[in-house]
Amino acid sequence: MGLVLQCAIGSTILPALFSYPGEVRLLIRSKQVRAVFKWQCLATVVMALLAWPLFGAPGAVSAVVGGLINLVAGGVYFAVASVGQLRSAGQVIQRAFRAEASKVLIIIIALWFAMTHYKGIVHVPFFAVFVLTALLPAVAFLVPDDALTAESATDATGSSNPNARS
């Protein structure tokens, strides 16, 4: 739950992952990946807040657990997919399959662990948030490759970025 709360309040960990170029060094350079992680964090927090009055604290915690499963699995996918150099199209395909297999394995293990070890799980918010955060990466193509906002068109020195569109 700490990661989701840090995502919502913007503590010191996630700004390094999700900041715009020029502010700090980016750990995740892909705008699409950063956007999907932001959307998953936001969806998890919003759904947990909606689950609280309907299902109580166990429902909110279940919603957070459901969202965290896909956040962790997405992080594993990104880590496996982005390690090392690729020299051929075959290596790209092999890496993509390896990353997807790692993600599916993490999801299966995490679902099993949550369902067997968390006795107070509330299934409706748990699976609702799990499915929602699982579907969000499918809309990553909606994030443009150009500047996300007008603020990112200037770098840390305040000079204009010639590669950014206005």
pLDDT for 9 = 40
pLDDT for 87 = 86
pLDDT for 63 = 96
Q: CB neighbours of 87 closer than 8 A, spacing ≥ 6?
A: none
Query: Is 26 domain-assigned?
Result: no
pLDDT for 156 = 46
| Domain interval for residue 115 | 33-137
Q: How many domains are there within the chain? A: 1
Query: Is 84 domain-assigned?
Result: yes
pLDDT for 146 = 61
pTM for this prediction: 0.69
Nearest to 37 by CA among 80, 4, 81: 4
Query: Is 166 domain-assigned?
Result: no
Query: Is 20 domain-assigned?
Result: no
Nearest to 79 by CA among 71, 90, 87: 71
pLDDT for 40 = 93
Query: Is 82 domain-assigned?
Result: yes
pLDDT for 10 = 42
Nearest to 29 by CA among 82, 85, 98, 97: 82
Query: Is 17 domain-assigned?
Result: no
pLDDT for 11 = 41
Grouped pLDDT means (10 residues each) for the chain, 166 residues:
40 44 52 86 96 95 96 91 84 91 96 94 96 89 63 47 50
Query: Is 149 domain-assigned?
Result: no
pLDDT for 19 = 45
pLDDT for 163 = 53
Query: Is 116 domain-assigned?
Result: yes
